[in-house]
Amino acid sequence: MLEKFQVKNYQSKEEAYLLLLSQINNLLNKDDKLISNLSNLTAAIKETFPTLNWVGFYLRENDFLYLGPFQGKVACTKIEIGKGVCGTSALKKETIIVPNVYEFPGHIFCDSASKSEIVVPILFEDYLWGVLDIDSPEFNTFDLIDKKYLEKIIEQFKASVLKYELLSYSSKMASSKI
Ligand code: SME
């Protein structure tokens, strides 16, 4: 499976996303562990766009987002919902594009190389499950093309993996004796 993941050079951003999207179903597997799927998804995005300096997940527990699988430098482990770009996206339940992180009030600096950022919320019905956070070392990296395709990637991730993970979690809880 891994050796089949393809990245092509010299293509437009849209072509790169389309190639990535076409491979997501093969990459993600509902029979694998959630943490493995999350990890490979960060790697697939980073391999597709190697100039990005940070690609990762923050996963929600109660009022906080906790650092999940990522590619990049060590990062803050806990972000309160409502704080920073990640917490704001989580609170508003919408994708946030930040062309210049220095101009975003309350931006949380994890990697000093980051200059622009996009955060996509992961919602399961209306429940905020986590966010996908991507940083670039250049200003103005992300636009509506990124928003459109990253949201599609998250939709595919939810349909292929998260649905089964949550269903299996509920059935494990229902059958658990403790
Ligand atoms: N910049 C984010 C924090 C996470 S790091 O970028 C990995 C924020 O303001 O929420």
Q: Determine the residue of 79, 91, 100 to mutate for testing ligand 1's pocket, defined as the one with the most ligand atoms within 8 A of the Cβ atom.
A: 79
Place of tokens 């200003």: 139
pLDDT-based confidence at residue 9 (cuts at 50, 70, 90): confident
Residue type, 1: M
Which residues make Cβ contacts (< 8 Å) with residue 167, sequence separation at least 6? Answer: none
Residue 166: Cβ-neighbour burial (10 angstroms; 0-12, 13-18, 19+): middle
Determine the Cα–Cα distance for residues 93 and 122; give it in Å rounded to an integer.
8
How much is the pLDDT for 176? 57
- Rounded to an integer, what distance in angstroms lies between the CA atom of residue 130 and that of residue 108? 17
Query: Which is higher by pLDDT, 81 or 29?
Result: 81
d(CA 62, CA 8): 40
Is any atom of ligand 1 closer than 6 Å to the C-beta of 68?
A: no
Residues present in the chain in total:
178
- Percent of the chain topping pLDDT 90: 76
Delineate the domains of the chain, giving CATH numbers in brackets: 13-167 (3.30.450.40)
pLDDT per residue as tens digits for the range 93-131: 999 999 999 999 999 998 899 999 999 999 988 899 999
Please give the distance, rounded to the nearest whole angstrom, from the Cα atom of residue 149 to the centre of ligand 1.
20
What is the pLDDT, as a whole number, of residue 55?
Answer: 98
Q: Quick one: pLDDT band at residue 140, thresholds 50, 70, 90? A: very high
